[in-house]
Amino acid sequence: MSVGRAAFISFHACPLAAPGEGKSGGMNVYVKQLAKALAGLGVQVDVFTREHPGHTDIMTDIAPFARVIHLPGGDPEEPVERLFPFLPEFRDALRAFQQDNGLDYQAVHTHYWLSSWVGRALSSTWGVPHVTTFHTLAAVKSQSRAGENGPETRQQVEKEVMASADRVVAFTPHERDAMVRLYQANPKTIELIPCGVDLSLFRPLDRQTVRRELGINGENVLLYVGRLEPLKGPELLLHMAAQLETQDDVRFLVVGGGVGQDEDVDRMRSLAAGLNVGSMFDFVGRVEQQYLPKYYSAADVCVVPSYYESFGLVALEAMACGTPVVAARVGGLSTIVQHARTGYLTPLRCPDTFADSVEMIISNKKLRRAMGAAARQKAEGLGWDNVAVRVTELYAALVPEIR
């Protein structure tokens, strides 16, 4: 067991926030699960995040040796796009907290570019290594879909931090290559460590039971889980539905909320009506993560039509529940999904190929079962404990006290 203490900085993504709500998603899940898993290995983790609407306590334990600490960082109502000017306030509050409490951190691990700006400053003040995980990159996002341009400062900060950080964690070879190609990052400082999945929560449940509970009769269920934001490409589901040859016994379950959920659902509904596929769709809204295994286990296929995913936790969660995934061949999805083994990877924005791939699976029970079993097997190598071991090794290479 180590005696190390790491400061996680997750400025705008609170690990206590409910994923699938507002802007919360995979990053919030990652920070929480990794902090807990590291704590389980004996690394004490303090996760610093900004005060936000709905937060109650300044300090909350999430596991023995892991806690979340809320500090001031601008008006809590301010949206993420406008948070850059508040970073100095947060940095100073974090430094004061560390001093007031006599804390000694051996490493700073930051999440997302805003946090990396804070972490760069603090790691140099404290004289400790800076590890950063960007989760998404401005240059990659802006290449994925028109209109995905973040603030100009973002790309500049990402480039600077890539050059200054002791290690940059990339989830996939795709992300690592993008860092080298688009930011001229030094490949030697990039560590490839995938995202994880909670294997005790996300596991195959009895199919008949969960289907009964969800009111599914004999239909083939195609599941979408995620915020309904444009980058996730949910409208492809509608075009794909229109291409299916076997429309009668297919039902789409669309799970997830997000900012502007009502308008997003209204837009989807009217598009569905225009394509004459409205009756195939159920918009379930946000589901608490603890109930998601029911949906994944009940589904025949999980469909992930995103324009881009740096990792794509939903695909991995579905696989952990033994469900094949049909996903766009983009970003992390092309690493998680093994084409023709655990599902299918399809060209970006091609509803007919999505429809063909899904039909191949739903028309062949044997194939669906084999792909589901292979999917679970692949996910089993990606439990959070395994990921935390890799991260601890990374810390240990930089800090002898953590090992």
Binding residues for ligand UDP (CB under 6 A):
19-20, 25-27, 29, 225-227, 255-256, 286-287, 289, 292, 311-314, 317
Nearer to ligand UDP, 242 or 382 (CB): 382
Nearer to ligand UDP, 91 or 286 (CB): 286
Cβ at position 173, least distance to ligand UDP in Å: 18
How many beta carbons lie within 10 A of that of residue 106, not counting itself?
21
Nearer to ligand UDP, 256 or 305 (CB): 256
Cβ at position 175, least distance to ligand UDP in Å: 13
Alpha-carbon dihedral of residues 34, 40, 43, 44, nearest 10 degrees? 90
Nearer to ligand UDP, 70 or 227 (CB): 227
| 3-state percent breakdown (helix, strand, coil) of the chain, nearest 5 | 45, 20, 35
Q: Rounded to an integer, what distance in angstroms lies between the CA atom of residue 110 and that of residue 45?
A: 12
Residue 21 CA neighbour count, 13 Å, CB half: 11
Cβ at position 312, least distance to ligand UDP in Å: 5
- Is residue 68 within 8 A of residue 16, CB to CB? The reply is yes
Cβ at position 314, least distance to ligand UDP in Å: 4
Q: What is the DSSP letter of 304?
A: E
Sheet with strand 250-255: strands edge to edge:
281-285, 250-255, 220-225, 301-304, 325-328, 343-346
Cβ at position 375, least distance to ligand UDP in Å: 15
CB-based closest residue to ligand UDP:
25
Phi-psi region of 395 (alpha: psi -120 to 50; beta: other; left: phi over 0): alpha
Element housing 16 (H / E): none
Q: Rounded to an integer, what distance in angstroms lies between the CA atom of residue 40 and that of residue 380?
A: 19
Place of tokens 């028109």: 146
Cβ at position 361, least distance to ligand UDP in Å: 20
- How far lies 60's CA from each of 40, 46, 53, 156, 356, in Å? 17, 10, 16, 34, 48
Cβ at position 388, least distance to ligand UDP in Å: 17
Cβ at position 18, least distance to ligand UDP in Å: 7
Nearer to ligand UDP, 4 or 25 (CB): 25
- Is residue 74 within 8 A of residue 50, CB to CB? The reply is yes
Nearer to ligand UDP, 27 or 222 (CB): 27
Nearer to ligand UDP, 234 or 256 (CB): 256
Cβ at position 290, least distance to ligand UDP in Å: 9
Nearer to ligand UDP, 26 or 351 (CB): 26
Closest C-alpha to 318, from 233, 376, 390: 376
Nearer to ligand UDP, 8 or 202 (CB): 202
